Amino acid sequence: MSLDRIDIAIIEALQKNGRISNAALAETVGLSQSACSRRLDNLEKEGVIRGYHARLSNAALGHRMTAIVHISLSGQFEKTLADFEAAVKRCPNVLSCHLMSGEYDYILRIAARDLEDYERIHKEWLTAMPHVTKINSSFALREVVDRTHVGMKPEMA
């Protein structure tokens, strides 16, 4: 899908305020409400907008620790990857999981209450996942950047 300057303006406005009304969004991007609604529907149907959610603070919810975990598997066969990915999706503390190139097969970002809670997650979840041969954990000292989006430039259209 090719995005024009209006699509980009809609996306940027929604990234700043996902609860903006259609009327306010239409005014912001310079469209009628019906035209804005059609554009928004199209962006959703095309998968540019994947959903809407509330952005929560893990720390405020008691998960003050973030662990970055590198995982190596016994191989990269389709079944091996599928088994691991199905297991990792069941772990409620995994915030993100990426299949990687390079030394490790996956990188996970995990939320934990504290070191003892991470130890529980490690024992009950990570080491129990299928085909895992190596786990390397690092702990975030401070979050510097946490974006939900990449900046959009009109010249992308």
Amino acid at 47: G
Asked if residue 2 has pLDDT above 50, the reply is yes
pLDDT score at 151: 76
CATH class entry, domain 5-54? mainly alpha
Q: List the domain boundaries for the chain.
A: 5-54, 65-139
87-124 confidence digits (pLDDT tens): 999 999 999 999 999 999 999 999 999 999 999 999 99
Report pTM.
Answer: 0.81
When mean pLDDT is compared across 23-27, 87-91, 143-147, the lowest value belongs to 143-147
Sequential DSSP letters for 44-86? HHTTSS--------TTTTT--EEEEEEEEES---HHHHHHHHH
pLDDT surpassing 50 at residue 56: yes
Task: Give percent of the chain above pLDDT 70.
Answer: 97
**pLDDT at 148 exceeding the cut of 70:** yes
pLDDT at 40 over 60: yes
108 against 56, higher pLDDT: 108
Write out the CATH class of domain 65-139: alpha beta
Average pLDDT over residues 67-71: 98
State the average pLDDT over residues 116-140: 98
What is the reported pLDDT for 155? 52
Per-residue confidence at 157, pLDDT binned at 50, 70, 90? very low
> Residue 73 to residues 28, 85, 87, 98, 125: CA-CA distances in angstroms?
49, 11, 13, 13, 15
Q: What is the average pLDDT across 121-145?
A: 97
Amino acid 12: pLDDT: 92
Mean pLDDT on 17-45 = 96
